[in-house]
Structure 1
Amino acid sequence: MWTTVMVAHSPPSVIVAAKNKPPSRLPEKSQSRKSTATGSAGFGGKKKDPVWQCIQNCGACCKLDKGPQFPSPDEIFDEPSDVELYQSLIGKDGWCIHYDKNTRECSIYAERPYFCRVEPEIFFTLYGIEKKNFNKEACSCCVDTIKAVYGIHSEELEKFNRAVWSTGSKMMD
């Protein structure tokens, strides 16, 4: 009897460590895995890197209290005012107070804080991620967050993987 195995085409799962912090808070799998995104994809070709994009109606990043496997605001931010603002956004259920769970949208999207924006400059400021590594790291962060919030077999993860690994991906942020 044949068994069907589904293989996700996602980058290795890596949680971005807080700037200037040791990677000891990263899950063990993240510390030992290495990216093959630019390695050989078989048949002599190069594997294409993902192109990060925000997936409408996902909202996984709006789950602000993600648990101990993710860096805390104190580990991410240098400015106490950023820590205070971030913590003020966390509702009793761990979700951002501006995230509408019914519509799965941010009610202050156009005016959201800088740290809610997934952009190369923000990733450099917060995590020290160089622009050339932005897509790979942003995709890894989203994959880890989506898995933590919705699960490894979620529709949100499938939708995200299809979008970032498709040819001609377009950024929506």
Structure 2
Amino acid sequence: MSQATALTSCNMVSFAAQRPQRTKAKKMKQVKTKEKQSSRNVGFGIDKKEPVWRCVEGCGACCKLDNGPAFPTPEEIFDNPDDVELYRSLIGPDGWCINYEKNTRKCSIYPDRPYFCRVEAGVFETLYGIKKKAFNKAACSSCRDTIKEVYGTQSLNSQLR
């Protein structure tokens, strides 16, 4: 066992030893609470863990606006010509959004960014026809695909689940 593992194990044991003992009344209350929670899921089996989309701080893969033939063109995404024009106006000479600050890896207009830069259920439904129920799974998948395309398959971010 490594020294770090031994220290962690010791800390866990000492923490457990310091924990106050539960009274019988507290234990009964916990059992009743668990029974209530499990009765809500009767007949549905084990709760399935659905992915929950969250932005990877410092990533910026979605700010690479000119991704080439692997991605749909703005004309294929947007119905409104004004959105196509706005999107195209944001593409810098290197293909990255002109508002993406590479040194900080953040958006300089984040609070005021266009609606299509927002990864939200309503935006995904408007642009891609993805219903709210399927949003998290679709957003996670889209994010992983974009990260792989921009940073490569060996990127730590591309391996997130």
TM-score, L = length of structure 2: 0.70
Equivalent residue for 2:105?
Answer: 104
Q: Which residue of 2 aligns with 1:83?
A: 84
Q: Distance in 2 between matches of 1:89 and 1:83?
A: 10
Aligned pairs, number: 117
Structure showing greater Rg: 2
Report the aligned-residue RMSD. Answer: 1.4
Paired AA for residue 70 in structure 1? F
Shift of 1:133: 0.2
Looking at structure 2, the residues matched to 50 and 77 of structure 1 have their Cα atoms a distance apart, in angstroms, of: 27
CA distance in 2, matches of 1:156, 1:136: 16
Task: For residue 155 of structure 1, report the CA deviation from its aligned partner.
Answer: 2.3
* SS across alignment from 2:125: helix
1:118 maps to 2:119: yes
1:63 counterpart letter in structure 2: K
One-letter amino acid of the structure 2 residue matched with residue 112 of structure 1: R
Structure 1 residue 138: Cα displacement: 0.3
Report SS of the residue matched to 1:144: helix
What TM-score, normalized by structure 1, do the two folds share? 0.65
In structure 2, what is the equivalent of residue 17 of structure 1?
none
Identity %: 68
Runs of 4+ in structure 1 deviating by more than 4 angstroms, as ranges, are: 44-47
Amino acid across the alignment from 1:139 = C
Spell out, residue by residue over 1:17-68, the C-alpha distance to the aligned partner (whole angstroms, 9 max, x if none): xxxxxxxxxxxxxxxxxxxxxxxxxxx9665221101111000000000110
Instruction: Between the two structures, name the one with larger relative contact order (CA 8 Å, sep ≥ 6).
Output: 1
Deviation at 1:146, TM superposition (A): 0.1
Question: How far apart, CA to CA, are the structure 1 residues paired with 2:69 and 2:48?
Answer: 33
Please identify, of 52-61 and 149-158, the stretch whose mean Cα deviation from structure 2 is larger: 149-158
**2:122, 2:48 → 1: CA distance?**
26
AA partner of residue 125 (structure 2): F
Question: 3-state DSSP class of the match of 2:68?
Answer: coil
Paired AA for residue 57 in structure 1:
G
Partner of 1:6: none
SS at match of 2:142: helix
Residue of structure 1 in register with 2:139 after alignment: 138
* Counterpart residue type for residue 105 of structure 2: R
> After the TM superposition, which residues 45-64 of structure 1 pair with which residues of structure 2 at under 5 Å, given as runs?
48-64=49-65
Runs (5+) with no aligned partner, structure 1: 1-43, 166-173
C-alpha distance in 2 between matches for 1:46 and 1:124: 26
| Conservation of the 8 A alpha-carbon contact between 2:67 and 2:95 | yes
Distance 1:70 1:47 in 2: 31
CA distance in 1, matches of 2:63, 2:154: 19
